[in-house]
Chain A
Amino acid sequence: MTAIIETEQLTKFYGTHRGIVDVDLVVNEGEAFGFLGPNGAGKTTMIRTLLDHIRPTRGRARIFGIETTADPVAIHRRLGYLPGEFALYDKLTGGQTIEYFANLRGGVDRAYQQQLMDRLDVDPSRRFREYSKGNKQKIGLVVALQHRPELLLLDEPTSGLDPLIQQEFYSVIREAKAEGRTVFMSSHILSEVERTCDRVAIIRDGRLVRVDRVGALRDMAHHTVEIRFTGPVPEAEFRTLPGVSDVVAEDHVLRMRVTGGITPVVQTAARYELSDFVSREPTLEETFLAEYGQEPVAEGAGNDR
């Protein structure tokens, strides 16, 4: 696999304020990569460092094998970027704004540009300042996508979009992936990452705490198990099982949290008369929140190089 984004101990401090610290990451060609973290965790700093909008305090980043500080223009030629927050030219219409950015790239495929505008339901005739937040976001998406970039850097791309347009956006991302293009997307909307990404990184206080496949991340997390007995609840037997915690008994119902394999719980429950057994798989959101209670992983841990 060809690495599209590689970072080594990438660190950025704003004076004494922490941005990102020792970030080691590899994103491969054709991959959709989610970058998760709450506000202030360092997601935007990471993306702006990759773009060479800000320079690393230490460490390095390469995109397409090119060091970001060495030849940013060569990198920019091949990527599309949507910032988390942006303003454009108030007096230009949406169409003129899109045209300007197309010109800065030496022209784009007009048919594809128009197709994107149609799919995202962009009204190009209004001045930028007259657009709602969602409509401004659509203009930004067209600007980022219109030249069919090899790499998409998207900072919270669906912010402000209505559900229908969000679906269309996911479809555009899936198509980009199918064409072998790479997507690096920051978000704190976990369902969005779960739906579009192959792998996900979680960042906390500027440090990566986990990098893994979306499915693996979910599998590694806990299950919530609820068992309804026809007779008395054998609570003590379950408390001693490996990986079981937060056991609560209420009438004939026993609830618990199971980390890791669920087999011992199933085998123990099978010895009793049950009226119901429910095991709920965790959402990525639950995994994310659970992960946020843990210590940072060692440098590079979980990287799928």
Chain B
Amino acid sequence: MTAELTRAPMRTPAAPASEGPSLRARLLGLGSVFGKTIRDSRRAMLIVGGISAALVLVIAYAIVTEFNTPESRKEIARVIAAVPPIMQGLAGSGFNAETLGGYIQYKYGGFFPLVTGLWSILALSGTLAAEIRRGSLDFVAAGPVGRRRIALEKVLAHATMVFVAMALIMGSLWLAGTAFAALPGDEIPFSAAIGYALWLGLMALASGSVAFAVAPFLGRGAALAIAGGLMFLGFIINGYRTAIPELGRFADLTWFGWTNDHIPLASRYDWTSVGLTAGFAVVMLAIGVEAFARRDLGSTIALPLPRLPHALLGLRGPFGRSLSERLPTALSWGVGIGFFGLMMASVGDTFTEQLAQAPGFRAALETLFPDVDIASTGGFLELVFVEFGLILAGLAGASLVSGWASDETSGRLELLLATPLQRTRWAVASGLGVLVGVVIVMLLTAAGIAVGGSTAGSDFGTAVLGSGAVGLYGGALAGVGMAVGGIFGAGVAGTVVVAITILTWLLDFLVPSLDLPSWLQQLALSSHMGQPMLGVWDVPGIVLCLALAVGGVVVGALAFARRDLRG
């Protein structure tokens, strides 16, 4: 007798008692990976899109209020044309700068991709990698949705939110052109607003897509560093390609270089380059999706980074430990800002040469900076390095403070303070570790400026000393962060420092633009630094910075000793 193999009939599961998620939940809520990602990124979208859109309106209003005659517009165009290429630097093309749209494009248009790009990098580096790290993706991936689909839904949701934010910016550009147009040519056509917003969204996605492609291989931290580094590098070298033609070949490898001629608010379009940027983003996102689908979940390639020698691990006590933990962050920021300083200092002689060929511009500068030698490396750095350098110093302070705060937010402090370590001692020692980290950033900045200045063959001594401003400003903000962390909880410390940095930048930028009372600008710490690259120091400001740095540690320590440890 031959046994006949029969397959057991598959049981049909009973019909589910409940219905599936609604369309609304799938699109905007907890009904799908897409919906949840949309839900999670609402706040970020509103912050980036809302603030940028509001800024566009404020800037446009300020421009048409300040320059409301044809003569004043011609003067703007003349001044912009007279600015030597090296001074144009990170601003955009001066094409059609006498119109509202053209001026926005020239003065501010190039900076928005940094903000939106940073958002996209943070979101796309973490959307999968951070979930893997905290373990939640193990649950999601164990569900009935495939990995490829999970990754695709996450990417699509982020892209959707980017374009919603861009729609806000597009709307505000169109509204600004319609509501504030004071002179012929000020109207911003719908096509120009779309052209700018589409470009901005794709620039953001191009930056973020690099992070998304790298994250499955190297993890979130490396993805952030690589994508962020590429974005800032692309922005800087593309900004200086006119002044330093050798940079052009490197700039053309980046999405900033590709779209250099796409300046829609100034009525010049280069849709091919926009398409190229879109194609690049799609390819990188596809790499990220496939890598996530094919690789082991959470398995990353460890980069062969050298480990710190035992002596630098800081195992003797909390100061050394804090400094050792902050060291990689301090070195990264120091090298980054130092490299920026090096680039700027190394073209100081070019600036001097170009300034000699633009006597009108030189005269204008000498009116602004009397009694100083503007035609020097220090003079150039005062004009092009200090403002951006201080923003970077503030952000460096914020990341050092966030690292400091992680002792409490991660729960390490539970164990540390169960040893015979006084709370105040931990707070002071670890706080000093942060301040020494700021000093390292400052020293590397000074080193960058020294190397750059020496290659240019110019006198750079004053400028090297001026890099102390980076340390003073970064230290002051870090001190404020640690005081806030000590009083209200370490979890908010880094965020507060970022907020102060941005607020300070906004004050610096909006008060003159909107003709607001000068005392408002005096609230910004950055306006109390003097002209450090020219050797002119604002003594009360310096004292205030030192007091904030040291006092912040002390206040934070005293407050921390009196409050509950956050669990």
Q: Which A residues form the contact surface with B (CB < 8 A)?
A: 44, 48, 51, 53-55, 72-74, 76-77, 79-81, 83, 85-89, 91-92, 96, 99-101, 103-106, 140, 143, 153
Q: Mark contacts of B307-334 with chain A using CB atoms, 8 A cut-off: 1 yes-contact digit, 0 otherwise.
A: 0101001011110010001000000000
Closest A residue to B421 by CB, please name it: A104
Tell me, in angstroms, the Cα distance from A77 to B325 when the chains sit together. 25
Q: Are B415 and A76 in contact (CB under 8 A)?
A: no
Distance A221 CA – B318 CA, assembled complex (angstroms): 50
From A48, A79, A104, contact of B416 by CB (8 A): A104
Given A48-B567, A54-B564, A89-B325, does the pair A73, B414 have CB atoms closer than 8 Å?
A: no
Residues of B within 8 A of A73 (CB): 420-422
Contacts of B412 in A (CB 8 A): 86-89
Flag if B315 contacts A87 (CB, 8 Å): no
Contacts of A140 in B (CB 8 A): 415
Judge whether A48 and B565 touch: CB under 8 Å.
yes
Interchain CB contact under 8 A, A100 and B321: yes
Query: Could you say which of A77, A89, A100 contacts B420, with CB atoms under 8 Å apart?
Result: A77
A71 to B316, CA, bound (A): 23
CB <8 Å contact, B325 and A143: no
Instruction: Verify B418–A79 contact, CB threshold 8 A.
Output: yes
A44 to B565, CA, bound (A): 13
How far is B419's CA from A105's CA once the two chains are assembled, in angstroms? 6
> Contacts A76-B421, A86-B415 known; A103 to B316 CB distance under 8 Å?
yes
A89→B412 CA distance, assembly (Å): 8
| Contact across chains for B564 and A83 when beta carbons are under 8 A apart | no
Q: Are B420 and A54 in contact (CB under 8 A)?
A: no
* B315, A76: Cβ atoms closer than 8 Å: no
Residues of chain B within 8 A (CB-CB) of A86 are 411-412, 414-415
- Set A77, A81, A106: member contacting B415, Cβ < 8 A: A81
Q: Is there a chain A Cβ closer than 8 Å to B417's Cβ?
A: yes
Residue contact A44 to B567, C-beta cutoff 8 Å? yes
Residue in A51, A91, A96, A104 whose Cβ sees the most chain B Cβ within 10 Å: A104
Q: With contacts A73-B421, A76-B420, A104-B419 known, is A54 near B567, CB below 8 A?
A: yes
CA A91 to CA B421, docked complex, whole Å:
22
Supply 29 A–B pairs (Cβ within 8 Å), ascending by A.
A44-B567, A48-B414, A51-B417, A51-B418, A53-B417, A53-B565, A54-B565, A55-B564, A72-B417, A73-B422, A76-B418, A76-B420, A80-B418, A81-B418, A85-B411, A87-B410, A87-B411, A96-B313, A99-B315, A101-B415, A101-B419, A103-B315, A103-B316, A103-B317, A104-B317, A104-B420, A105-B420, A106-B420, A140-B415
Compute how far the CA of A250 lies from the CA of B384 in the bound complex, rounded to whole angstroms.
93
**Which residues of B lie under 8 Å from residue A103 when comparing CB positions?**
315-317
1/0 per residue, CB under 8 A from A, across B413-438: the answer is 01111111110000000000000000
Q: Which of B415-469 contact A (CB under 8 A)?
A: 415-422
What residues of A have a CB within 8 angstroms of the CB of B313 in the complex?
92, 96
Question: In the complex, A230 Cα to B133 Cα: how many Å?
Answer: 64
Please tell me if the beta carbons of B316 and A53 are within 8 angstroms of each other in the complex.
Answer: no
DSSP class of B's interface residues: helix, strand, loop or mixed? Answer: loop
Give Cα distance in the complex from A176 to B325, angstroms. Answer: 35
CB distance from A262 to the nearest CB of B (A): 45
Q: Collect the chain B residues with CB atoms within 8 Å of residue A44's CB.
A: 567
Of all chain B residues, the one with the shortest Cβ separation from A85 is B411
Chain B residues, CB < 8 A from A77 = 420
A77 to B321, CA, bound (A): 20
Q: Report the Cα distance A11→B280, complex, angstroms.
A: 60
A72 to B561, CA, bound (A): 11
Contacting residues, chain B, for A53 (C-beta < 8 A) = 414, 417-418, 564-565, 567
For residue A149, which residue of chain B has the nearest CB?
A: B418
Residues of B within 8 A of A105 (CB): 419-420
9 tightest A-B CB contacts, nearest first: A81-B418, A54-B564, A87-B410, A77-B420, A53-B565, A104-B419, A100-B315, A83-B414, A86-B411
User: A214 vs B315: C-alpha distance in the bound complex, in angstroms?
Assistant: 42
A140 to B316, CA, bound (A): 19
Taken together as a complex, chains A and B put the C-alpha atoms of A136 and B557 apart, in Å, by 30
Known: A81-B415, A91-B308. 6 other contacts (CB 8 A): A44-B567, A48-B414, A54-B564, A72-B417, A73-B422, A81-B418
Residue of A nearest to B413 (CB): A53
Within B311-360, the residues touching A (CB, 8 Å) are 313, 315-318, 321, 325
